Amino acid sequence: RSGPPAGSLPLPPSPTEVDNLFEKEKKDYIFCLNQSLSLFRPRHVLLVEDDAVPRPDIFPVLRDLLRRRSAKRQVRESLYLKLYHPERLQGYLNPEPMRLAEWVGLGLVGGSALALAARRVVGKPTRSKTSFLLLVVYCMGLAEMLGRTYLLELRRCSPQLYALAPVTECCTPAMVYPAPAARLVVRYLQHVHCRPGLAKDTVLYQALSLYGQHGYSVEPNLVSHVGFYSTLRGLG
Whether the per-residue pLDDT at 80 is higher than 50: the answer is yes
- Domains, the chain, ranges and CATH? 21-88+158-225 (3.90.550.10), 97-146 (no CATH)
pLDDT for res 235: 47
Whether the per-residue pLDDT at 132 is higher than 90: the answer is no
**Low-confidence winner among 5-19, 30-44, 120-134, 212-226 (lowest mean pLDDT):** 5-19
- For residue 64, CA distances in Å to 61, 67, 68 come to 5, 5, 5
Peptide bond preceding 60: is omega within 30 degrees of 0, i.e. cis? no
Task: Average the pLDDT over 82-91 and give the result.
Answer: 85
pLDDT for res 33: 93
- Whole-structure pTM value: 0.77
Task: Label residue 115 exposed, middle or buried (CB < 10 Å: 0-12, 13-18, 19+).
Answer: middle
For CA atoms 211, 178, 43, 161, the dihedral sign is negative
Mean pLDDT of the chain: 82
Task: Average the pLDDT over 210-236 and give the result.
Answer: 77
pLDDT for res 129: 81
